[in-house]
Amino acid sequence: MNALGRHILVEFYDCSPELMNDVVHIENSMVAAAETAGATVINSTFHHFSPYGVSGVVVIQESHLAIHTWPEYGYAAVDLFTCGDSVDPWVSYKYLKEAFEAGHGSSMECRRGQLDLLKRNDFNIENMRDVSPKPPEVAGAITRDVWFTERDENIALSLKHSGRQLYKKDSPYQRVEIYETLAYGNMLTLDGMVMCTQKDEYVYHEMITHVPMFSHTKAKRALVIGGGDGGTVRELLRHEQLEEVTLVEIDELVIEACKLHLPETAVAFDNPRLNLLVEDGIKYINECEDGRYDLIIVDSADPVGPGEGLFTAEFYSQVYRCLTPDGVMITQSESPRFNSAVFVEIYDTYKQIFGEEKVHCYLAAIPTYPTGTWSFSYSSKGNSHPLQYDREAAAGFARSQGLKYYNENIHTAAFALPNFVKELLNSKSTNVTDEYSAEPTN
């Protein structure tokens, strides 16, 4: 070969959209394509972008293979670059065309570094050698960096995972997936959005349950709408005063996935005090008898997909009807900074149904949720107030149960709201602004 390298620019068309959005399949295929061609793989780094799209590169001793996909078009743009004669990039091309189920492909080969245009320079390699000590390399070892990314228009969260997808199924409602992340353990995602992880799920589940249970000590019957991961009912069932806990989850695959791969979260599904129903929570509430429950927790996903109907005035009015005269409704109420408009709108709705003085907002720090700050609402049908509770009982409970986040001080502090949250709660949903002025006022 009269050049330093061969560079094939590839376009694959009519690929499987599912495969073009599967970062694990793409990373495995790219690594295998390199190895099949006889390349020595050093490193792979791949990112999945929510809701769709994958970018990645496989670094080989002989150069690299790179890709970006557009699942919505069934299209992949691929670079295959090899140095020397030992690796044939066309072998990789044929492998990937089949792996991606491409209808057809187009390609163009360039010879990089034409030798008749180059002049070899003599230099002292000793002056360029890195003499710093390095750990011994393991023969055949590949460094693999595979990333899941939940991406919104203006913000993103990326988590590195093992490259093994533990669970992936499509239900009639959503795609249910579990990844093995390096920093946060196993992670449940629904339609590409992070729901919970092993390392921080306790924050959400302890705060959505123990705050109302210590403020409403007479609660005997509790209902959870959503919460198929099992964490909310796990925490509720720590309270012996509860005689009945009903969980209504629309998607049985969420329950299945968490039983298999988040067993610490799903540990309470076999508790005899739990009444588990796989059905539509909206339908259940609409058919529920008046005054049935002391506590109703709406443990919903974001207001999209199957969770969209759980953010309406009609639904909250039905929840109000199903509460006892002293009953309490708890909801996850989004991030006040990330979803400001939704945050304000739903609090306006709560106040219209429960009354201005009966609705309270509290916050918790959840690292894997957008902005890291998440809100919960406490809405009382009667006179229950979230800051009127037995601090000693809460402290003893937190110690005896080995809770990781909730305690009596956190309970109180969660209701100490930042000024920007207070301003949002005092605004109207039609007049929400994200503008911020750093100018001091005197």
Query: Count of H helices and E strands in the chain?
Result: 12, 18
What is the bridge-based pairing of β-strands 221-226 and 293-299?
parallel
> Does the N-terminal peptide bond of residue 263 adopt cis geometry, omega within 30 degrees of 0?
no
CA dihedral 241, 225, 208, 218 (to 10 degrees): -30
Q: Please count the residues of the chain.
A: 442
Q: Are 425 and 347 in contact (CB under 8 A)?
A: yes
Residue 170 pLDDT:
94
Report the pLDDT value the prediction gives residue 95, as an integer from 0 to 100. Answer: 96
Sorted by where each begins, the domain ranges of the chain are 3-116, 201-426
Architecture label for domain 201-426: 3-Layer(aba) Sandwich (3.40)
pTM for this predicted structure: 0.80
Residue pair 20/100 in contact (Cβ under 8 Å)? The answer is yes
Q: What is the pLDDT along the chain (442 residues), one digit of tens a residue?
A: 687 888 899 999 999 999 999 999 999 999 999 999 999 999 999 998 877 899 999 999 889 999 999 999 999 999 999 887 788 899 999 999 999 999 999 999 888 777 778 777 776 666 655 555 555 555 556 788 888 988 877 888 899 999 888 999 999 999 999 999 999 999 999 998 999 999 999 999 999 999 999 999 999 999 999 999 999 999 999 999 999 999 999 999 999 999 999 999 999 999 999 999 999 999 999 999 999 999 999 998 766 555 555 678 999 999 999 999 999 999 999 999 988 988 999 999 999 999 999 999 999 999 999 999 999 999 999 999 999 999 999 999 999 999 999 999 999 999 999 999 999 999 865 454 444 444 444 4
| Rounded Cα gap, residues 214 and 390, in angstroms | 7
AA identity, residue 88: D
Tracing tokens 């791969």 back to the chain, one arrives at 261
CB 159 within 8 A of CB 147: yes
Q: Given phi > 0 = left and psi -120 to 50 = alpha, else beta, which region is 138?
A: beta
In terms of Cβ atoms closer than 10 Å to its own Cβ (0-12, 13-18, 19+), residue 218 is exposed
| Active site residues per annotation | 299
Quick one: DSSP state of residue 305? G
Q: Which CATH class is domain 3-116?
A: alpha beta
Please give the pLDDT value at position 152.
79
Query: What whole-number distance in Å separates Cα of residue 63 and Cα of residue 111?
Result: 14
